[in-house]
Amino acid sequence: MTTIRATVAAVVDPEIRVITIDELGILRSVEEDPTNGRVVVTITPTYTGCPAMDVIQADIRRALAAAGYLEVEVRTVYTPPWSTDWITDAGRAKLASAGIAPPSPVRHPDPVPLTLTVRCPRCGSPETEQVSRFGSTACKALRRCRSCSEPFDHLKAL
């Protein structure tokens, strides 16, 4: 059973290629119906406007087909809505090492809104500024580091 889940969990996000859908936190469940061998995969889409979900569904089907599972149903669930808080620690580390600043935590107990610092993924400097609301994809904002003057993508918190 774990093998099926591992197969699906290893599918890489088509937009942020360094991170798997499991690390991104969008993989809800993988279940095999023992009576007919049908595999039901449940995922929660990320940012609306990201056209990646069709690609992810196709990639899930392809990965399972390669493992011998041809009867596959991919379900999408919208509640509770996906949040960048669902990205795992391993996923955040991979984003950082790929030069993408991980999103800031969305939910924090402090009722006073804080201006959260986005650190440069290259040199770690908190002195960064937003260059554009949209980076290489709609899910990312383009920022620049004032210390090393390198531009980098920031995965928007949601």
Residues forming contacts to Zn ion in the complex (CB under 5 A) are: 120, 122-123, 125, 145, 147-148
Q: Which is nearer to Zn ion, 4 or 120 (CB)?
A: 120
CB 43 within 8 A of CB 26: yes
Q: How far is the CB of 65 from Zn ion (least distance, A)?
A: 43
Record the tokens describing residue 48, joined without a space: 């609306």
Q: Which is nearer to Zn ion, 138 or 148 (CB)?
A: 148
Q: Which is nearer to Zn ion, 37 or 124 (CB)?
A: 124
Q: How far is the CB of 83 from Zn ion (least distance, A)?
A: 27
Question: How far apart, in whole angstroms, are the C-alpha atoms of residue 49 and residue 35?
Answer: 37
CB 141 within 8 A of CB 128: no
Q: Which is nearer to Zn ion, 110 or 129 (CB)?
A: 129
Residue 149, sorted as left (phi over 0), alpha (psi -120 to 50) or beta, turns out to be left
Q: Which is nearer to Zn ion, 58 or 123 (CB)?
A: 123
Question: In 10 A of CB 123, how many CB atoms?
Answer: 13
Q: How far is the CB of 98 from Zn ion (least distance, A)?
A: 15
Contact partners, residue 36, CB within 8 Å, separation at least 6: 71
Q: How far is the CB of 122 from Zn ion (least distance, A)?
A: 5
Q: How far is the CB of 145 from Zn ion (least distance, A)?
A: 3
CB 77 within 8 A of CB 1: no
